[in-house]
Each structure stands twice: as C-alpha cells, then as structure tokens.
A and B are shown apart, each in its own frame.
Chain A
Amino acid sequence: MHEFSVISSIVDLVKQEMEKRPVILVKEVKLEVGELTFLAHGALEFGFTALVEKEPKIANDALNIIPVQAEVKCKNCDYEGPMKVKDSESMHIGVPIFKCPKCEGQIEVIKGKECTVVNLRMELED
C-alpha cells in the first residue's frame, strides 16, 4: 500500500501549480502509470478522492489514469517495442515475459516503470 504516499506527492504537486494561477477548479489531472509499476489504479483513485475531499478547487473525479504499456530494448538485437505477454482466459492480468520477443536476448525496460503527471486541466478566472 504505497499508493497513498505516491498520490500525496501528486496532490502536493497539483496544489503547487494551483498557487501559480487564479484557479477556479482543477478539472483533470492526467496521470500516466506504467504497467510494470506496482501501483494499483483503484488505490490511487481512492487516495486521491480522500485527499481532495476538503479541497473545493479540485474536482473529486479529476484523476484520469492512463495505463502505459511497457516497452523494452534488446541488448542483443535491434528490437525496441512492446514486451511479449503471456495470456490465458483464466488470468485477469497478462504476464510480461522479460526476454526479447524477437531473439530471446536480454532486455532493458525503457518504458512502463513511470508514474507521470502529464497534464493538468484547470478552469481559471478571466
């Protein structure tokens, strides 16, 4: 349950940005969360709602989580792209396979471990 400390940092960041302008309402906080992080989206949303409950200038439903697909770079061949994912009907979440989908070589993760506030949409006073 480390989502709460992560979402606290995000809310702090939003507040810092609010201080710089005459904000009426923060309508959207667009957050990209890599699929290789261990951040549960539901827990992030729950923490966000709890933290902004007493913040009238941040909409309760402002958090918009965009999942980011993992990408890898092969250390052996020139492959750069998505990972191979093992899927089955009974599994809710596919299992990423940590080898090059092309040559089975060792890979380096280049995308999918981030948690980035990409954009804030705010309604401002004229």
Chain B
Amino acid sequence: MHMTCDVELGADILAANKRIAEDNAALLKKHNVRAYDFLGAIGSGKTLLIEKLADILHARGLKCAAIAGDVTGDDDYKRFKAHGMQVVNVNTGKECHLDAHMVDHAISHLDLENIDVLFIENVGNLICPADFPLGSEKQVTIVSVTEGDDMVRKHPILMGCSDIIVVNKMGLAEIMEIDPEILKKDAAAINPHVPVIFTDARKETGLNELLEAFGL
C-alpha cells in the first residue's frame, strides 16, 4: 500500500512579478523618477501620445525617458529617440506583454539620475498586461474613438483596475459617428473613481489635462 501525502505550498505564481514590480517602484522613487505605464490596443495612439507629452515636459525643463515595449522591431524606439529621450527598446518576442523583470532589466540601462519622467509603453494588448504590474506610479489605459464606443464596457476589469483612462483621437469622433460620452459613462459605471481624459494627440488637445491627472 502506498502513502498519499498533501503538501501545502501557498505559492502565488504571479507574486514573483509583483515583488520585482515593487523593487522597480522603490528604485524609481529613490531616483525621483515618476513612471507611467501605457496600456492600449494596437493603433490606439500610445506612441504619439507619449511623444507629445514628452515634448511638453521637455519644454517645462523636465527630462523624459521611455521603455518601448513591442513584440518586434524598433519603430517606437526610433520615434522616441528623435524627441531627445533616453530610450530602451524591449522586444518581447512571443510574449504578449511586458513583465516586471523585463522592465527591471530595461531600467538598468537608463541613467536614472538624468530622468524626471519615465514612460513605459506596453505591448499593444488589452488583456495579458493586466496581470503583470511593472512598478509604475500609474497605469494609464488608452482607448481611441476609432475602436468603437463599446470599448470600455468590453474590458471592464482592465478599465476598473486602471488609474487613468484616456479616450484618444477625439478629432475623429464625429467622422466615426461615435459619442465619446458613452465611453465616459461606461467607465463611470465600472469605476466612478477613475478619471477619464479626452485627448487628441495629433491635434494636441487634452494633453495638459492628462499631465495634470498624472500629477505633473
């Protein structure tokens, strides 16, 4: 007769990522770097939004840096670089999200003493990144009006857990026959405490309001 045994483990598989995220946050805080993680679908306007925000912050005398998360390529990396930012390109290969370890590695390539604000652009994906906090101060979720007016209510957990929701490409709302107030109303129904900011990165509207929501 064989013996059956139970081994109690209590091992949280996602906890390792959370621990590294906390270390990242502590390191960034030590160097007075404010970090913001941008989540959003492919084509929602994450990259352009970061470029425009960086230009405003540079004009205010603040130094910006970026971590460009993409499955492959260096398109975003080159765009950020052109704005005078310190940039680290992170190609995730087959992974659909950045994780805290990748960000930890990327941060080690940055001169933190010369950075005031760090933008982390996650891989274009609205599901997987949500399980992997990175150590940023705020998680910013971008939706654009071109994705449809049901985008917020289709992703309630991600929206509910976000610190800020940005509705981008506002200049296209009329052409797309979208009422952005629906996105705002849906966000308020899921989490009334999350600020919803309307922006148009290309037309440079709503950007100062967004920076205000960042506390910058």
- Residues of chain A touching chain B, judged by Cβ–Cβ distance below 8 Å, are 1-2, 5-6, 9-10, 13, 17, 21, 24, 27, 36-39, 86, 95-99, 104, 106, 109, 113-126
Contact = CB atoms under 8 A, between A and B. Distances in A.
Given A96-B160, A99-B192, A117 B11 contact: yes
A95 B190 contact: yes
Given A38-B127, A38-B131, A116 B11 contact: yes
B6 A120 contact: yes
Interface string B1-35: 11111111111111100000000000000000000
Contacts of B3: 123-126
Contacts of B189: 86, 97
Nearest 4 pairs of A and B residues by beta carbon: A98-B191, A98-B160, A2-B128, A106-B193
Given A2-B95, A96-B157, A116 B4 contact: no
B161 interface: yes
Contacts, number: 102
B213 to A, nearest CB: 15
Contacts of A104: 192
Contacts of A126: 1-3
Interface of chain B, main secondary structure: mixed
Contacts of A124: 2-5
A109 B12 contact: no
A102 B57 CA distance: 40
A119 B192 contact: no
Contacts of A38: 127-128, 130-131, 157-158
B155 to A, nearest CB: 10
B131 A114 contact: no
Contact of B191 (A13, A24, A99, A121): A99
B157 A115 contact: no
Nearest to A125: B2
B2 A24 contact: yes
B128 A118 contact: no
Interface in B163-203: 189-194
B96 interface: yes
A96 B1 CA distance: 48
A117 B9 CA distance: 6
A91 B5 CA distance: 41
Contact of B9 (A37, A115, A118): A118
B35 to A, nearest CB: 20
Given A1-B128, A38-B131, A95-B156, A117 B193 contact: no
Nearest to B188: A99
Contacts of A123: 2-4
Contacts of A106: 193
B97 interface: yes
B6 A96 contact: no
A27 to B, nearest CB: 7
